Every structure is written in structure tokens, then in C-alpha cells.
Chain A
């Protein structure tokens, strides 16, 4: 999936200007990191791509389609093509690992056989095959994060968004998670990861977009 921001600005109703004049182009099958101090606008940028928020100015093109031309009814179908790992909106603890991961498939109406196959494939990729019947509560923080990733990729999305996916994890687990994203990217998925873990980002050797107070201050190689 291809993402293009054209001089995008976002001003919240409170008057706070979260993004201003942000332009960048993320190509098909590209992987990039989004960095910046907290409050720099990383989350806002991700929300705009997910159509959780709408931009105030500028255009956002996804595969050439201007998101501002899409009505409310189109939002669910847009979101089905994007896998997200957000820190809040995590797992549901009233159901098993399997049913957490299966949610995107159920929502888009996959049949049971297909669902079972895809869920197990996704869990296999994140190394949790065999724990599908457990409640997520019974798993460790790192494993829970990987359930979230399995849920994000189970639908074979064309774009993977991750907002601070390594937030509470130790360096070894963080590296594992990042490697997972890299693997998805290798099979053609466009990946955008927001992280403030600069050391980790630098090690990954990918394109880095840096936000500072809503402005894109750096777009280029790893710093």
C-alpha cells in the first residue's frame, strides 16, 4: 500500500495544532520509522491514516485515493486493509487468544475453516502456536504484544501500523518484535512503526521520519 501526505495539517477542536504542513511519501512495500518526542504528533499521524481523525488541511492519498473523498460508510472497509498495533485498544480478556486474533476475520465475514487456518498461521508467525486456547491474561507482556501483532496481520493487510509496539518490553523482546515487522515487510507489506526508542530504530537501518511539534523535521536515512 502506498501512502502520500500532501501538506497535511491537523488542528484539534481544543485549538492544539498537532500536525502542520506534513508531507511524505511511503512507497509500496517500504518500511519506515516515525520518531519524535511525545506529543510531536506521531499518534495523530497514525490516526489520520486509520481515519480515526480527519485532517484539517492538505490531502492524504492511500493508493492514490484521497481519504477526504471517503464517507463514513467506507471507513470500516479502509481499516480492513490496514493492520494496527496500538498501545491502547489491545486485547479482549473475555475470550481466548484464538478469538482475539480471529476478530478481524469475523468482522469481514471469513468462514470458520478459513478463519482457523489464518489464525493459526498468524500465531505461528509470532511464535504463539499452541497457546491459542489460553486466555491472554495467562500470557506475559511480550506474548500479549505478539497476540496484538498476530491480530494485526491475520487479515493479510497491505499496510501495518504500529504505535510504540515495544513500549514496555525489555531490549531483547523489543528486537524480536522489530524483526517480526521486518519479516512482514519482506513479503511486501508496507510498514510504519512509531517509536521513541532511537537506539533500536538506528539499529534497524530503515528510513526514519522525525516529527517535532507537528512539523516533519527529518525524512531520510537512519540517524
Chain B
């Protein structure tokens, strides 16, 4: 065997010494073999599943805890998705009412009305003079007598701007922008978008979304801890094996691998059960939910997880499993040293 160059210890910087340390005279010549790598992984995948099956009760308990922890954020996600799909259908004719300053006369107001109706995002503008306004008011409110006691008509000229877009959750921001623009016109005292309840709904949905994210983050953390703890116990119970493997020259990454796969299986199986839970739950509530929505004369079909979402859910749960076991196993394998 060729003698590798010996780093001179005297006068070498710490860094150089470190570099010298990582050099491995016996590793050279060993090429990375992709086939071998894949074969080992396949073997580990099978072996680690076998170990899970070997301790069925403990494995099922862990998997169920993971499944329950994951099905809560998953279920909330489905709920949110459905609320959004329902509210997306809810739209109404949008109207922005412009209350002009009292000093505006009919000619000025009419010219503003023409100007606005030529805008691309405006369908039409309805002109309501002071007198018309007074008539509407008297008819609808029944304050005829009180109004007749006033010396003059207190009502302003109103322009009802009908935008092209109907108002719903998706068009709301653009309409709010239009309202702000109209408010900024010099003739306009006050501009009002008649969509208060939609604005409230949007806020509630935003709140709901953040709530779901926060809950999800907490429960993902919980699953990391559950997997980590389970894997730590598994490593501890195989202490002798880890020691023998270190003795016969196993690298830490080789020792780590079966445990990572174990975490992978816990994650995936937990994800599968969580998905099943959510699908069953949606089936269970679908009949009453659809009846409820029908009362509001809306078309509605309760949505469950679709294929893409199932894949995303399983991927995330598998990742959580691998990461949780990685953290536990890296810490633990370093602690188990030959003596």
C-alpha cells in the first residue's frame, strides 16, 4: 500500500491539521457504486418494515398517534377548502354609491357621471338627483312628515356606480381599490362599496387560514417529537447491534439508515391513516352539510382530499418521519461508543 503524504504537524495551522485528519488512506480506490447503494437501501426498506411488523402493538400505537395528530390539521384544511369553495360562489351585484358634496349642481354631477361611465371597469352609472333621492327616502322610510318640516332638501346628489365585475371574494380587492379611487375624486364626499358582509367573510377566512397554519405547525412539531422518541427507544433496544456494527467497521450513516427508514414508515403509515380518517370524516358529514347549504339555495358538493392533496399529505408525513428520526438517531448513535 502506498504511503500517503504525512502532514507535518509542526507549523501546520489547525485547519491544515483538520484537513489532514479527514484524509483516509484506505478509502481511496473505493468508488461509489450506485447499484450497491440502491440494493442496500432496498434491503433496509424491507428490513425496517419487518421490524415494525415485528412489534405490531407498539408500532400501531405510534402510527395511530401520528395519524391523529396529522388528521387534525388535515381536517381543518379540508374544512377551510370547502368554506372557500362555497363562499367563492357567493356573489352579488356590486354597487359603489358616491355621495357628492352639497355644492355640486346637476350639470357638474352629470358630467362626472358621463366621465365615470366611460371607464373600462364600470358597466353603468345611475344618476339620482336630490329630488329623486328625497322621493325614494320618503317612500321607503315613512319619514314623510319629518322631511316636510325641513326648510330645504338635505340630501346630496348620489351616483350609483355599477362596476363590470360582480363582487365576490376574488374581485373584492380590485373593487376596494376602485372605491378608494372614486373616494379621492374632488366632487365626492363619500364613496361606499356595498359589500360589508363579504369583507367580513374575507377577514374571517384569513383568520381561519392562519389558525389552521398555527395548529398545523404545532402538531407537526408534536409528530417530530413522537417519531424522535420512538426511534430513540428503538436505537436503545438495539444497542448491542450498534456496537457490534461499529466494531466491524460500519459507518455512522450505515448504522443510521435502518432507523431513518423506520421513521419513514412511521411517517407514511401515519399519513395513510390520517388520510383515511379525513376521507371517512368528510363522507360522514357530507349529507347534512349539503342539506345545510341547499337551504341557502347554493350549489354545493362537499369536497374531500383529491389525489394531489393525498400525495402532498403523504410526502409531508414521510418527511416528518425521516426528519424526526434523523434528529433522534444522529444524537443517539454518536453517544453509543465502543469501550
Chain A residues engaging chain B, CB cutoff 8 angstroms: 47, 50, 52, 63-66, 69-71, 73-74, 76-81, 84, 86, 89, 92, 94, 103-104, 107-109, 111, 151, 155
Q: Is the CB of A109 within 8 A of B33?
A: yes
Query: Which one, A47, A74, A92, A109, contacts B241 given CB within 8 A?
Result: A92
Residue of B nearest to A108 (CB): B249
Most buried by B among A50, A103, A107: A107
B27 at the interface (CB under 8 A from A): yes
Q: Is the CB of A76 within 8 A of B244?
A: no
Query: Which one, B6, B18, B248, B254, contacts A79 given CB within 8 A?
Result: B248
Most buried by A among B7, B40, B339: B339
- The tally of residues in B whose CB lies under 8 Å from a CB in A reads 34
Q: Is the CB of B249 within 8 A of A104?
A: yes
B142 at the interface (CB under 8 A from A): no
B39 at the interface (CB under 8 A from A): yes
Residue of B nearest to A63 (CB): B1
Tell me the number of A-to-B contacts counted with CB atoms below 8 Å.
Answer: 87
**Could you list some 15 contacts between A and B, CB below 8 A?**
A50-B247, A64-B3, A65-B25, A69-B6, A71-B24, A73-B22, A74-B24, A74-B26, A76-B251, A77-B26, A78-B26, A81-B26, A103-B244, A104-B248, A109-B36
Distance of A69 Cα from B24 Cα, bound (Å): 9
B residues in contact with A64, CB < 8 Å: 1, 3
Q: Is the CB of B247 within 8 A of A84?
A: yes
| A64-B3, A77-B27, A78-B26 given; A107·B21 CB < 8 A | no
Query: Which one, B24, B241, B246, B339, contacts A70 given CB within 8 A?
Result: B24
Most buried by A among B3, B40, B254, B338: B338
Q: Name the 8 nearest CB pairs between A and B, nearest first.
A: A80-B249, A71-B21, A79-B249, A74-B24, A104-B248, A107-B250, A52-B338, A76-B251
| A52-B339, A66-B6, A109-B33 given; A86·B247 CB < 8 A | yes
Chain B nearest CB from A159 CB (Å) reads: 12
A residues in contact with B6, CB < 8 Å: 66, 69
B151 at the interface (CB under 8 A from A): no
Q: Is the CB of B23 within 8 A of A69?
A: yes
Query: Which one, B3, B25, B240, B248, contacts A107 given CB within 8 A?
Result: B248
Q: Is the CB of A71 within 8 A of B22?
A: yes
B residues in contact with A50, CB < 8 Å: 247, 338
B279 at the interface (CB under 8 A from A): no
B288 at the interface (CB under 8 A from A): no
Query: Which one, A69, A86, A89, contacts B20 given CB within 8 A?
Result: A69
Mark B1-18 against chain A: 1 for CB-CB distance below 8 A, else 0.
Answer: 101101100000000001
Given A66-B6, A76-B252, 15 extra CB contacts under 8 A: A52-B339, A74-B24, A74-B25, A74-B27, A76-B249, A77-B24, A79-B246, A79-B248, A80-B26, A80-B248, A92-B240, A94-B241, A103-B248, A109-B33, A151-B248
B243 at the interface (CB under 8 A from A): yes
Distance of A155 Cα from B3 Cα, bound (Å): 23
Distance of A94 Cα from B50 Cα, bound (Å): 13
Most buried by B among A52, A76, A78, A103: A76
Chain B nearest CB from A87 CB (Å) reads: 12
B245 at the interface (CB under 8 A from A): yes
| A52-B339, A77-B24 given; A69·B247 CB < 8 A | no
Distance of A64 Cα from B337 Cα, bound (Å): 27
B residues in contact with A69, CB < 8 Å: 6-7, 20-21, 23
Distance of A52 Cα from B113 Cα, bound (Å): 90
| A76-B250, A109-B36, A109-B40 given; A89·B26 CB < 8 A | no
Interface residues of B in 215-261 (CB under 8 A from A): 240-241, 243-252, 254
B residues in contact with A73, CB < 8 Å: 22, 24, 251
Chain A nearest CB from B55 CB (Å) reads: 12
Residue of A nearest to B338 (CB): A52
Most buried by A among B4, B18, B25, B33: B25
| A64-B3, A107-B254 given; A89·B244 CB < 8 A | yes
Distance of A75 Cα from B315 Cα, bound (Å): 35
Most buried by A among B240, B247, B254: B247
Mark B168-205 against chain A: 1 for CB-CB distance below 8 A, else 0.
Answer: 00000000000000000000000000000000000000
Query: Which one, A71, A77, A107, A155, contacts B245 given CB within 8 A?
Result: A107
B residues in contact with A89, CB < 8 Å: 240, 243-244, 247, 338
B residues in contact with A78, CB < 8 Å: 26, 249
B residues in contact with A66, CB < 8 Å: 6
Distance of A56 Cα from B283 Cα, bound (Å): 69
B residues in contact with A81, CB < 8 Å: 26
Query: Which one, B18, B22, B249, B339, contacts A77 given CB within 8 A?
Result: B249
Distance of A75 Cα from B183 Cα, bound (Å): 76
B residues in contact with A104, CB < 8 Å: 248-249
Chain B nearest CB from A191 CB (Å) reads: 18
Distance of A63 Cα from B1 Cα, bound (Å): 8
Chain B nearest CB from A1 CB (Å) reads: 9
